[in-house]
């Protein structure tokens, strides 16, 4: 047995690692549930939020079940029942992670508020963190169990690639619908409640009289917990599958360079296929340790704890890899690629934080002095600038990873994405922490708890907003690299099928008019998702404003605070709108590659993917960061950052308008576009063998 | 002599046609100048506007002279003095057209107001049209004279391609600076005057007390006349040069298909090279006739006259081509390609009009009822939707043109762009008509002329706004097709050079990591131009608001209307800001291809162009049309379209905010990004032989 074979001994690592992390998630879940809950008012409000969140999830899952059934049928007919089954598995595990994680979050929110009520910031931090960790560990654990099981069952067999691609399509289409549906819900509720409350009725945020406030808090859960969870689950799956797909189809000569001393190409290829899973398992183990380190640091400054949690694990993984890989004879190029991803992810995260929390947002706040017009212009410009900075980092990471791996450069880019996502479990923990502490603040406000309590929840919430930017950096950076890798995998897969059929290689050259036309066609798709999600939020928010106005006018005593609002009506409007409006963009993403691939052929589809990548990656960064800048510029003014322009001033009102525009930008359209390009890529990869010979 | 040779007899057509059109322009210029001018107040105001416009142009030309000198030196050193000289010629003719056209416009504006004062709508229409025609005929005439002269001097010699590429670089870099500089000027003045006047001082638009109003009117001339003129001059040059470049380097077998019955490939290639110029000359002739038909229709409904002027000539040219080309043995594929361009251009124009004047803007107006936030969200969504519609038309036009020409598909795409621009002279006439009638309205308002006069100028202005949308459709559609064609020309040129040096063809495949990294890199560049121009307008507008506030506070009697404002200070601020802020985006566009080409090689540069094309074409459409939608939604409310929400209502104020955001979107950043991708493409084409062997 050679050294490189030794690495293949770890093939159970994903399943075992995944099982351990699910066990820890279960323990943390039980711990959270058993913590003391709030007083009667708090529990009633938390109950509304939990019910609303679960009701949305159940209704969304029903829609998705129909979708899954249709796709299962189509895939079974076109690619066999195994493909259909793997698709369902990929989808089901995503839904399961979302369900468990959101349930935990809706228990953790009120218990975090209770800890704050008891005056303990460390306990409040710990509760929110544990609630988030249930999501983080479920997401990473289930992703690795799923892919690990498919690997164990099918390694060495030709079905492995179709199985993995189908699994990835399941994961990403659920992510798409969850992100878009959840995003429409959360921002329709947020914008609707804000306009009706702050602008029309002139009452503060989270005021209990506002019937939209419950829906707003539900939105935090369905969008930022369940939607984000599906998104990150998908990111991990897509990055690993992209690397495995390239490993399965790359030319022999290139594969050999991965394990230079290996005795056979078959062994080298087996290592190449196993490596992304093995390294992700290592990442999960490091993240598990990281979560407990973070828990132990609960008494420290929350911002420090969370930032270290995000940046530490990926770097630790790279350090371990640098030591371990040579022992198995694997090229250090992999370590460099992983490192490029890990460092690049942190750099994008910090840049995102810069553009959405530092100098640039002060300029947005300054621009608010001359009105909403200049505020919006400045915010749009900041969003565009952030594209430049983040994309340069992505280009550098891709460049380094590509050249570090030589002939296997495309695999290197995929491994950079794997490196960026190595800390998925802890990144998701911190991401879910955010909406939990946001919810805790909402519950404290609505229950009329004192300023001391709000101070604690406000601090935890503010930290969550900053770390959310870093988490977003990892997400968008890895998405772009993953799409580049998936794109390479698609091209390899098409030519693999053509070689098998003794056909000439596909002309993928930029001189091919089909490719050029495809590039233009691909540039359209992000705008379909962008416009439809913006409009969905706009129209649903409008309907919510009308309903809130109706309640204030028709419910006697509501304005005076002597009568209860009817939050369930708002929840219904938001739910119906989200489920209705997610269909068009969702189906566009899933069907566009199929239609283009069959109608115009694989070259036009390759061009389409390239065009969608260029436009989608930049557009999603632009929208996400412009939105973040407006949000924080408003908060900056609210905290008194703009001398002479307090909360309620004209400058503040201008900043609120910018924030309203930014809401769907950053939490609906931006993330929706980012997932669009991933869904298109995995669907294309899956159907590649079917259209390759056209 | 074969039939196909007969077509080559028309080689003097561009120069002769150009000379005739300059002669007509001179006659119209003299006619306009000799028309009766206004009363003393009107002439004083018009004098301010003319002085301000000319002062800006002179200062801008000084900056551009330095730029031209540097580039002349660089090109002479790298590619020979001929390249440097052709660059200067391309740039100089652009400046000349801008100078003459703007001078005519600044005479025509006050004379249009005078005709309205005399109560004659037909005469007012005719005056504005004649003023615009000076620009239209100069632009098209000088472009054809320049290219035609180079063709005559160098046809059959190897220097022709470098000469043409250098000429195109001259044309497009002037267009870039003029568009960006003029765009910053006009929108800084517009936004600054609006905020200071309408929002802060609460006085009507074009109020003579507002010191920013003169600068606003100057801006219409430097941005929408001179800037637009340079832009359209460049479009025509780039489309013709792209087609000629492909004709010079396409493989023999493909070229043969253009003139199937030709006795030699050399003859077929000569026809392919001459055809774009010959057909553009035909287009100029048809446009000249069209201008006189439009003049004869002066008593008809202005909207009908102008719309027919835009759509008629391109279709007439296609009809003539369909009859004539077979007589010369040229493939009817060319007619189909031209037709795809002509019909596509009209379709994009009408779609643009739909998105910026019909149903969509009513929805933007409706959204204003719930505030500026929803207004902005809706406008952004409309802009995104317009990308989908317009880009589908562009894709169809490219697809049809490509397939109609078979192996010469890339030439077909270039000819589609030529077809879209066949009516350049009349399109530019109508485009320049817009700001002239806008200026006429401003002069009428500032001079206190009565409502009857304003009614005439308002109607002419409103028609101009609609037809501007159609003109913009031709411009953006042709820009996208031209860039696709230039991109093909670049790839052909690189491989042409490599074949000559006995090197293997460049790997332009999408599986090449350099291409993928280039695509990501290219996606950044439109955001550099977008963010820097948005910020430039924002900050310059802010400075203007401050200065206007100072004048109102420090000049006794200004607010009461008993003292004169100091408009020249505002003109100075806008001029200085425009000239300062156009440097970064302008240099980025010119230098990026050079730096990337030399540092990362031709494959990465090809990827960069592809990425910039996908992002730039869609982003510029998005910004241009979102801006148009906001502008017209505001006007729709002002005209009473929104029952219960008049001018001055909250909904109207919200719409004014959207319009403010839209100003730099539609007139600075959007056009700037569109030219960026053309400049990058022609610069790349020019340096292709220098970097091809890397």
Nearest-neighbour CA in chain A from B229: distance (Å): 27
Residue B5 pLDDT class (50, 70, 90 cuts): low
CA-CA distance, A367 to B540, in Å (whole number)? 12
Name the region of B648 (left: φ>0; alpha: ψ -120 to 50; beta: rest): left
pLDDT of B199 > 90? The answer is: no
Inter-chain touch A527–B199, beta carbons under 8 Å: no
Q: Residues B436, B132: contact at Cβ < 8 Å?
A: yes
Q: What is the pLDDT of residue A3?
A: 45
Inter-chain touch B524–A372, beta carbons under 8 Å: no
Per-chain mean pLDDT for chain A: 91
Q: Tell me the two tokens of residue B28.
A: 């119209």
Is A324 part of a structural domain of the chain?
yes
pLDDT of A250 > 80? The answer is: yes
Q: What Rg value do the Cα atoms of chain A yield, rounded? A: 24
- Tokens 């704890």 belong to residue: A305
**CB atoms < 10 A from the CB of A176, how many?**
29
Is A438 part of a structural domain of the chain?
yes
**CB atoms < 10 A from the CB of A557, how many?**
10
Q: Residues A490, A609: contact at Cβ < 8 Å?
A: yes
Torsion of Cα atoms, B477 then B478 then B483 then B484, to 10°: 70
DSSP label at residue A509: B
CA-CA distance, B640 to B215, in Å (whole number)? 29
pLDDT of A5 > 70? The answer is: no
Q: What is the pLDDT of residue B477?
A: 85
Q: Residues B374, A538: contact at Cβ < 8 Å?
A: yes
Element (H, E) at A130: helix A121-154
Nearest-neighbour CA in chain B from A573: distance (Å): 18
Burial class (CB in 10 A: 0-12, 13-18, 19+), A638: middle
- CA max distance for chain B: 82
Inter-chain touch A606–B538, beta carbons under 8 Å: no
pLDDT of A168 > 80? The answer is: yes
Q: Which of B488, B527, B661 sits opposite A388 (nearest CB)?
A: B527
Number of domains observed in the structure of chain A: 1
Q: Which residues does residue B509 pair with via DSSP β-bridges, in sequence order?
A: A509
Q: Residues A427, A474: contact at Cβ < 8 Å?
A: yes
Per-chain mean pLDDT for chain B: 91
Inter-chain touch B615–A610, beta carbons under 8 Å: no
Query: Residue B270 in 3-state DSSP?
Result: helix
Asked if ipTM goes beyond 0.95, one says: no
Is A394 part of a structural domain of the chain?
no
How far out from the chain centre does Cα B541 lie?
23
pLDDT of B157 > 70? The answer is: yes
Q: What is the pLDDT of residue A1?
A: 42
**CB atoms < 10 A from the CB of B1, how many?**
9
DSSP label at residue A555: S
Q: Which of B384, B395, B518, B629 is the best substitution to test chain A (most A C-beta atoms within 10 A)?
A: B384
Candidates A597, A600, A659; CA nearest to A633 is A659
CA-CA distance, A632 to A655, in Å (whole number)? 9
Nearest-neighbour CA in chain B from A632: distance (Å): 16
* Cα–Cα–Cα angle for A239, A245, A246, rounded to 5 degrees: 95
CB interface of A with B, residues 190-209, below 8 Å: 191, 195, 199
pLDDT tens track for A426-457: 989 988 998 999 899 989 988 888 889 999 99
pLDDT tens track for A486-545: 999 999 999 889 999 999 888 888 888 899 999 999 999 999 999 999 999 988 998 898
Nearest-neighbour CA in chain B from A269: distance (Å): 20
Q: What is the pLDDT of residue A562?
A: 87
Q: How many residues are given for chain B?
A: 694
pLDDT tens track for A623-649: 999 999 999 999 899 888 888 888 888
Is A396 part of a structural domain of the chain?
no
Inter-chain touch A392–B191, beta carbons under 8 Å: no
pLDDT tens track for B162-193: 999 999 999 999 999 999 999 999 999 988 98
pLDDT tens track for A328-338: 889 999 999 99
Residue B3 pLDDT class (50, 70, 90 cuts): very low
pLDDT tens track for A14-41: 999 999 999 999 999 999 999 999 899 9
pLDDT of B1 > 50? The answer is: no
CA-CA distance, A52 to B113, in Å (whole number)? 63
Q: Tell me the two tokens of residue A509.
A: 């050259």
Q: Provide the residue range defining the domain that includes A218.
A: 3-329+420-691
What average pLDDT does this structure show over B330-344?
A: 93
- Provide the b/e sequence for A33-44 (b: ≥16 CB within 10 Å): eebeebeeebbe
Q: Residues A101, A225: contact at Cβ < 8 Å?
A: yes
Q: Residues A342, A332: contact at Cβ < 8 Å?
A: no
CB interface of A with B, residues 586-645, below 8 Å: 606-607, 610-611, 613-615, 617-619, 622
pLDDT tens track for A647-659: 888 899 999 999 9
pTM: 0.93
Which residue in A has a C-alpha nearest to residue B383's C-alpha? A531
Q: Residues B363, A538: contact at Cβ < 8 Å?
A: no
CA-CA distance, B663 to B150, in Å (whole number)? 39
Q: Residues A454, A161: contact at Cβ < 8 Å?
A: no
pLDDT of B315 > 60? The answer is: yes
- Tokens 């930029």 belong to residue: A510
pLDDT of A224 > 90? The answer is: no
B545 touches chain A (CB under 8 A): yes
pLDDT tens track for B642-679: 888 888 888 999 999 999 999 999 989 999 999 999 99
Inter-chain touch B492–A511, beta carbons under 8 Å: yes
Q: Which of A371, A509, A522 sits opposite B195 (nearest CB)?
A: A371
pLDDT tens track for A560-584: 888 888 888 898 899 998 999 888 8
List CB contacts (< 8 A) between B488 and chain A: 511, 513, 516
DSSP label at residue B408: G
Candidates B342, B355, B425, B458; CA nearest to B139 is B425
H helical segments located in B508-601: 513-554, 567-581, 583-600
CB interface of A with B, residues 493-522, below 8 Å: 508-511, 513, 515-517, 519-522
pLDDT of B286 > 80? The answer is: yes
Q: Which residues does residue A509 pair with via DSSP β-bridges, in sequence order?
A: B509
Q: Residues B216, B571: contact at Cβ < 8 Å?
A: no
DSSP label at residue B509: B
């Amino acid at each position: 047995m050679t050294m490189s074979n030794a690495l293949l001994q770890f093939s159970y690592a994903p399943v075992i690692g995944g099982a351990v992390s699910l066990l820890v998630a279960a323990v943390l879940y039980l711990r959270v549930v058993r913590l003391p809950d709030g007083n009667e008012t708090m529990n009633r409000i938390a109950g509304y939020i939990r019910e609303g969140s679960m009701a949305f999830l159940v209704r969304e899952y029903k829609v998705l079940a129909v979708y899954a059934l249709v796709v299962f049928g189509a895939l079974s007919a076109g690619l066999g029942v195994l493909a259909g089954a793997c698709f369902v598995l990929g989808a089901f595990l995503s839904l399961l992670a979302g369900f468990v994680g959101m349930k935990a979050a809706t228990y953790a929110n009120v218990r975090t508020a209770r800890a704050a009520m008891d005056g303990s910031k460390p306990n409040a931090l710990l509760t929110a963190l544990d609630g988030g960790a249930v999501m983080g560990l479920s997401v990473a654990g289930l992703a690795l169990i799923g892919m690990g099981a498919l690997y164990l069952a099918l390694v060495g067999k030709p079905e492995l690639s179709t199985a993995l691609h189908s699994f990835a399509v399941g994961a990403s289409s659920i992510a798409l619908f969850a992100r878009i549906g959840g995003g429409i819900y959360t921002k329709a509720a947020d914008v609707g409640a804000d306009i009706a409350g702050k602008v029309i009725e002139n009452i503060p945020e989270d005021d209990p009289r506002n019937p939209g406030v419950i829906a707003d808090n539900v939105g935090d859960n369905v969008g930022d917990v369940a939607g984000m969870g599906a998104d990150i689950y998908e990111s991990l799956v897509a990055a690993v599958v992209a690397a495995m797909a390239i490993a399965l189809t790359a030319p022999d000569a290139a594969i050999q360079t991965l394990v230079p001393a290996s005795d056979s190409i078959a062994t080298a290829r087996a290592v190449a296929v196993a490596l992304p899973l093995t390294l992700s398992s290592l990442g999960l183990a490091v993240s598990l340790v990281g979560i407990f380190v973070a828990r132990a640091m609960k008494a420290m400054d929350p911002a420090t704890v969370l930032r270290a949690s995000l940046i530490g694990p990926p770097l630790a993984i790279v350090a371990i890899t640098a030591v371990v890989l040579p022992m198995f004879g694997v090229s250090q190029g992999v370590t460099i690629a992983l490192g490029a991803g890990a460092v690049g992810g942190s750099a994008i995260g910090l840049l995102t934080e810069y553009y959405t929390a530092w100098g640039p947002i002060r300029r947005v706040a300054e621009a608010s002095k001359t009105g909403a017009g200049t505020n919006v212009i400045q915010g749009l410009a900041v969003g565009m600038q952030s594209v430049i900075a983040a994309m340069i980092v992505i280009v550098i990471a891709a460049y380094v990873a590509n050249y570090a791996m030589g002939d296997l450069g495309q695999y290197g880019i995929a491994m950079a994405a794997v490196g960026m996502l190595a800390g998925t479990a802890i990144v998701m923990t911190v991401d879910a922490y955010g909406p939990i502490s946001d919810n805790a603040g909402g519950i404290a406000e609505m229950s009329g708890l004192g300023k001391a309590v709000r101070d604690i929840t406000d601090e935890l919430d503010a930290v969550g907003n900053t770390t959310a930017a870093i988490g977003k950096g990892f997400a968008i950076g890895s998405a772009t690299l993953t799409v580049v890798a998936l794109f390479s995998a698609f091209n390899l897969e098409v030519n693999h099928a053509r070689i098998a059929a003794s056909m000439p290689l596909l002309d993928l050259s930029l001189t091919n008019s089909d490719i050029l036309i495809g590039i233009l066609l691909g540039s359209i798709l992000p705008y379909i998702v962008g416009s439809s999600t913006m409009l969905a939020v706009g129209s649903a928010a409008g309907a919510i404003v009308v309903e809130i106005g109706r309640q204030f006018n028709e419910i006697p005593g509501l304005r005076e605070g002597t009568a209860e609002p009817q939050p369930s009506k708002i929840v219904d409007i938001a739910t119906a709108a989200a489920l209705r409006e997610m269909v068009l963009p969702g189906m566009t993403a899933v069907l566009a590659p199929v239609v283009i691939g069959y109608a115009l052929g694989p070259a036009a589809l390759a061009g389409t993917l390239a065009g969608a990548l260029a436009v989608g990656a930049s557009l999603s960064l632009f929208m996400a960061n412009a939105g973040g800048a407006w949000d924080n510029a408003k908060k900056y003014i609210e905290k008194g950052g703009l001398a002479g322009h307090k909360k309620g001033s004209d400058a503040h009102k201008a900043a609120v308008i910018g924030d309203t525009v930014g809401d769907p930008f950053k939490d609906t359209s931006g993330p929706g576009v980012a997932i669009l390009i991933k869904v298109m890529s995995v669907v294309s990869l899956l159907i590649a063998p079917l259209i390759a010979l056209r």
